[in-house]
Structure formats: C-alpha cells, structure tokens
Structure 1
Amino acid sequence: MEKYRIDTTKGLEFGLYSIGDHLLNPFTGSKISAEQRIRELIEASKLADEAGLDVF
C-alpha cells in the first residue's frame, strides 16, 4: 500500500469552520442570543488558537 506523506515545502493548514450561529439549542429548540453567540465564538477561537489551528 502506498504511504502518503505531507510535503512540507507546500505547507499545510488546519482550521475550523463554525456554523454555530445558525444552529438551534439541541435541548430547547431556541436560538441563543447574539451576546451568547459572540461569547461562545470568542471562546472557541481562543481554544482554536491554543490548539495551534491556522484558520478559525
């Protein structure tokens, strides 16, 4: 079986894309407030940065 390797000369980015602002609360079925949505996106972006993701 052929092994695939990352070509470090071409680079590689890891990222995270969120559609959380469009989803309903799975427990209540309601949308979260804009304030809560922003707070959660900021927290997620901090975690993505700590994890070393290139794109958020």
Structure 2
Amino acid sequence: YIRNNSATIFHPVRTASMSPKGAPYGVVDGDSLLVKGISVLRIVDTSILVSYDSLSM
C-alpha cells in the first residue's frame, strides 16, 4: 500500500543551469532554452531556474 500510494515531496530544480549564449558554463542557452550543442532539444521545466523562492503552496 505505501509503495503504491506515496510520493516524494522533493522537487528537483536547478539541475540544468541556464547561462548566456557562448558562456563556457551552463547546459541551456538562456535566450532560446536550447540545450547547448543540440539544435532541436529545449528544456522548459524548473530544472533551468537560476534561483527560486518557495514553489510549493
């Protein structure tokens, strides 16, 4: 029962950081949301947030 009816309250954010175009750091181009080095893949979830306040209510 517990395994089938429980869920995590951990919300992973900031795991694929945005950075300016041409920057040597970061995974996602902050202007286009494209993954650097891949022309057809965008990240559009909370993993790209640079900072955040409480997201849960």
Same fold (TM over 0.5): no
Higher strand share: 2
Higher helix share: 1
Please identify the structure whose Cα radius of gyration is greater: 1
Q: TM (normalized to structure 1)?
A: 0.24
Q: TM (normalized to structure 2)?
A: 0.24
Greater relative contact order (Cα 8 A, min sep 6): structure 1 or 2?
1
